[in-house]
Structure 1
Amino acid sequence: MRSGFMHAQLTRHLRRLAVELGCRPIGSPANEAAADYIRDAFRALGLAVEEQPYPCTGWDCRGAWLSSAGDPLPVQANAFSPACDVTAAAVPASTLDELAAADLTGKIALLHGELVAEPLSAKSWFLRGERDDAIIAALEGKRPAALLAPPPATPQYEQFTADWELDLPAATAPLATIERILARPGPLHLRLECAKFSATARNIVARKPGVRPADAPARKVVLMAHFDTRINTPGALDNAGGVAVLLALAEALREIALPFDLEFIAFDGEEYLPIGDDEYVRRAGEASFADISLAINMDGAGYVAGRNTVAAFNVSPEQAGRIEAIVAHCPAVQWVEPWPQSNHSTFSFRGVPALAFSSAGAFNLAHFQADTIDKVSVAKLVEVVDVVREIVAG
C-alpha cells in the first residue's frame, strides 16, 4: 500500500470514529455505528466477517446537579449510576476503618482521601482485590442514599465508580468542592437524571485463510484493537487510532499469501464490563489458543507528543530476535516493559506470544475529554502499520 494512500485511509478511519461518531461506550448508538463501520470496512476488503453480539448494559444521563444551602456546586454522574433526587447529610469517610464505622443509611457517603486513591474495581472484575471487596460490602450493607467522591488520584480515571452492577447513585465532584463540603458540613441536595437499559455490544472478527499444505497444522496470527470508549471521551488515542491501524493492516495484508491464517479482531467492551474478550473466548474455546503463533494488539499508538512503544509477552528467543531486528529498522519505536491493561492479556495470560503497541504518554490522556483527534499523529500510525506488516509478512 502506497504511504500516501495509507495516510489517507488512516485519516479517514480516525476521523470517522473519533470525530463523526465520537464517544462510543458499549450500549450506545455510536458504539453500534462504530461496529457497523468496522464490519463494512472488513467486508469491503473481501474478508469473511463474524459478528459476535453479546448482552450488555447501556447508560444514559441527562444531567447532574449538586447544591449546598442553595448554592450550586459542580458535579458529574458516574458511569452506570442510577437516578436519584436526594437531600441528606453528607457523612465523610477517608479510610476503610472510617467507612466501617460510619452510619450511612439514607445519607450521602462522602468518600475522600486514601479511600478513593484508586478507582473501585467493578464487582465482576476478576482482578478486583480485598480493598475493593471491603468497600463494596460496606456500601451495599450500609445502604447510603448516594455516593459522592473526588476523582481518584491515578492519572487514568476521573471517576471512583463505573460499574453497571453497583446499584448505588454515584457522582464525582472536584476535589476543591469536596474540601469545601468537608469544611462546611450541612445537608446536600444531589439530583441525577440517569437510566440504565439493556443493550447489545459486538466484537467484529474478520478472517483471511492462509495458504498451506492440507496436512499442515492450523496456525494463525491474531491482530486486534478495541473500538469502544469511556462515557466522556471521543477516544482518539484510546482507541480510534488502534482501530485505524487494524483496518489499514487488513488492507495491506489482504493480497499477501501467508502460510498461516490471519484473524483481525475489533473488540468491544474493553473499557467497561462485560468485556468483549469473554465473548470471544466463549466462542473460540480455550483449545483454540494453542493454534495462535502470535497476537498483536494496538491500543494507544500514535500519540503526537510521544514515541510509539512495543512490549513483548511470552515470545521465544527465536521470535524475539526476529522481531527485535524488525523494530530496530524503526528507531523511533521504543521497547517498554510488559503491561496488562488491554486485550492482549486475554492471549498472553493463556501463554500465547503477544506484542502490544502503544505510545509514551498516551495513557495520561486516555479516558478523558482531551483525547481528541489532534493528539494523534497519523504519520506515527503509519509507522505502526509498517512495523506490524513486516512482523507478520516479513
Structure 2
Amino acid sequence: MTEMFYKIVGERVIGSVKNKELNQLICDTAMEDGFETILFPFVCKYWKKGKSSITRFGVTYEIYTGPFSASYAGSRNFIKAGTMEELACACCEDDFLILTDSLSASPLMPMNFPFYFPEEHKQLIELIEEKKPAAVIAVTGKHPMCGLNPFPLFEDGNFKIPNAYIDSSTANIIFESNDPVFLEICSDVTEENCSQLVVAKKKDTPTAGRIVICAHMDTKNDTPGALDNAAGVAVLLEVMKKLSNYNGPYDLEFVPFNGEEHYEVKGQLEYLNYIQHMQTAVKMVINIDSPCMKGSKTAYSTYNFDKSLCDLVDRKLEEHSKIEKGPEWYAGDHVMFAFRGTPCMAVTSSNLFEDALELTHTPKDTAEQVELHLIEVTAAFIVDVIRALDSRDRPS
C-alpha cells in the first residue's frame, strides 16, 4: 500500500491529467480484485491560474488570482467596503471594489451550491453584482478551515466579475493613496471531460442494503494533497482489497469522489443521481478524509446512528488502540448523506482541528506528513466495523 500511496500523492485537480490517471488506476485496481466498475462521465470547468498583479506608481506587486476568475487588465480607481452598509452606499460601477473586514472575513460559498448556500452569502454576492465593479479584490487572512493565508474569497465559475485576493500588507500599500491602480488578472478556464467512478461488490441474492465507503480523490491547486486526501484514498483501496472476497448480506460500494474540492461538486451529484434510481437503500456511509497524520491517531465520528449501531462501533473501538472517538465535523462528503438522515461515520486524523487543517490546501501537505502504518490500521478498523455489521444483520 506504500507504493500505491506514493502514486496517489501529487496535485490532482479535477480535469487534470493526474486526476484522470488516478481515476484509471483505481478502476484498474478494482477490476483486478474482481469488483464491478461503473463510470459516470461529465464535463467540468478546469482552471489554470497565471500571475496576477497590481501596479501603483510604477511599482508592481504580485497578488493572488481568484480561482475560476475571468481575466482582466486595466487601470481604475478603487472603492473600499468593509460592511454591507458601506457596500450599499458605494459607487463603484466600472471601478475596482476592494472588500475588507467583515465582508472578507470568511470564504463565500459558490453560487448555486447544491448542499449549502447561506442567505448572507447570497445577499452579499447579489449586492456586489448590482454594483457592477470592473473587478473585485478581497483583503483576506488565515482561512478558518485550512492552511491558506490569505485565502480566496470567491471560488466560483458562476461569479462572472474578475476577482483576486491580497493580504493586509499589500492592501496597506494600495491604501496609502487614492490614486488609480493598474490591475492584471491572468486566469484560464476551460472545459474538460471527467468521470465519477463507482466500484461495487453486489450480491446475487436479495441484499440487506448498501454500505458506501468513500474518500475524495481530487485536490485544490498548488498542493500535493498527501494528507488531504491521498491517505484517505489509500485507506479506501486497502479496505477494498481486504473485502475483495466479501460475501456478507450487504452490497458494497467504494466511491472515490471526484469533485469535493471543486465548486461544481459534479462527481458527487453524479453519484447522488445514480443512487436516486436504485432499489436498495444506503444503510451506512463511511467517509475517509485526511486520516493518518504523523503524531495522531485515527478518529471517527458518527451521525444518525441509533444506540445499537453506536454500541457496535464502540465495541470495535476496544480492539484498536490507534483508533479513538472524535468530534463531529460538517465539512466532508459524509455531510450530504448525514443531512438526508443516512447513518454516517467520518474517519479522519485525531488532530484534525489542532494540526491537520493547517496543512490542507497548501504546498506543505506532503507525503512526509503521513504516518504510513496508520493506513493499514485505519483500514483494518473500518473492515472490522463492516464485519460486525454483517454479523448483526446476517439472516439466520
Calculate the TM-score normalised by the size of structure 1: 0.91
Deviation per residue, 1:110-157 (Å, 9 max, x gap): 111111111011001241212211221122111211111233443325
Is contact 1:59–1:196 with CA below 8 Å preserved after alignment? yes
Residue 49 (structure 1) aligned with residue 37 (structure 2): yes
2:136 is the counterpart of 1:160? no
Of 175, 186, 196, the match for 1:203:
196
Task: Please give the alpha-carbon distance, in whole angstroms, between the structure 2 residues aligned to 1:188 and 1:372.
Answer: 38
What is the distance in 2 between the residues matched to 1:320 and 1:99? Answer: 49
1:348-389 residue CA offsets vs partner (Å, 9 max, x unmatched): 222221100011232232122211111111122222111101
Question: Any stretches of 5+ residues in structure 2 without a counterpart?
Answer: 389-396
Structure 1 residues 94-103 or 197-206, which shifts more?
A: 197-206
Find the aligned partners of 2:189 and 2:34 in 1 and give their Cα distance: 38
1:25 lines up with 2:13 in the alignment: yes
1:186 aligns with 2:183: no
CA deviation vs aligned residue, 1:28-86 (integer Å, no higher than 9, x gap): 22222221222122122121100112222111223222221111213111110111112
Shift of 1:186: 2.4
Partner residue of 2:342? 352
Which whole-Å CA distance do the structure 2 matches of 1:185 and 1:378 have between them?
54
Rounded Cα–Cα distance in structure 2 between residues aligned with 1:134 and 1:128: 11
Q: Does 1:297 align with 2:283?
A: no
Cα gap change, 1:247 to 1:64, in 2 (>3 Å): same
Query: What is the aligned partner in structure 2 of residue 5 from structure 1?
Result: none
Q: Which residue of 1 aligns with 2:276?
A: 285
State how far apart, in whole Å, the 2-side matches of 1:13 and 1:90 are: 50
Q: Show the counterpart of 2:248.
A: 258
What is the letter of the counterpart of residue 168 of structure 1? I
Q: Is the 8 A contact 2:92 2:132 kept in 1?
A: yes
SS at match of 2:91: coil
Q: Provide the secondary structure at the position in 1 that maps to 2:77.
A: strand
Measure the CA separation in 2 of the matches of 1:325 and 1:185.
Answer: 65
- Partner in structure 2 of residue 247 of structure 1: 237
TM-score by length of structure 2 reads 0.91
Partner deviation per Cα, 1:17-37 (whole Å, 9 max, x = no partner): 21xxx2222222222222122
Q: Residues of 2 paired with 1:45 and 1:217: CA distance?
A: 21
CA gap of 1:181–1:254, structure 2 versus 1, over 3 A, is same
- Cα distance in 1 for partners of 2:271, 2:294 equals 32
Q: Distance in 2 between matches of 1:178 and 1:315?
A: 48
The 10-residue stretch of structure 1 (94-103 or 324-333) with the greater mean CA deviation from structure 2? 324-333
Of 93-102 and 36-45, more deviation after overlay is shown by 36-45
Task: Give, as a single letter, the amino acid of the residue that structure 2 aligns with 1:85.
Answer: A
CA RMSD of aligned residues (A): 1.8
1:65 aligns with 53
Q: 2:367 aligns with which of 357, 361, 373?
A: 373
The answer to whether the 8 A contact 2:141-2:168 is kept is no
Contact 2:287 2:346 in 1 (8 A): yes
Whether contact under 8 Å (1:64, 1:192) holds in the other structure is: yes
One-letter identity of the residue aligned with 1:392 = I
Shift of 1:286: 6.3
Q: 2:69 aligns with which of 81, 105, 110?
A: 81
Partner Cα distance (1:104, 1:306) in 2: 49
Give the structure with the larger helix fraction: 1
- What is the aligned-residue identity percentage? 26
2:94 — aligned with what?
A: 106
For the Cα contact (< 8 Å) 2:207–2:249, is it kept in 1?
A: no
User: Aligned pairs, how many?
Assistant: 378
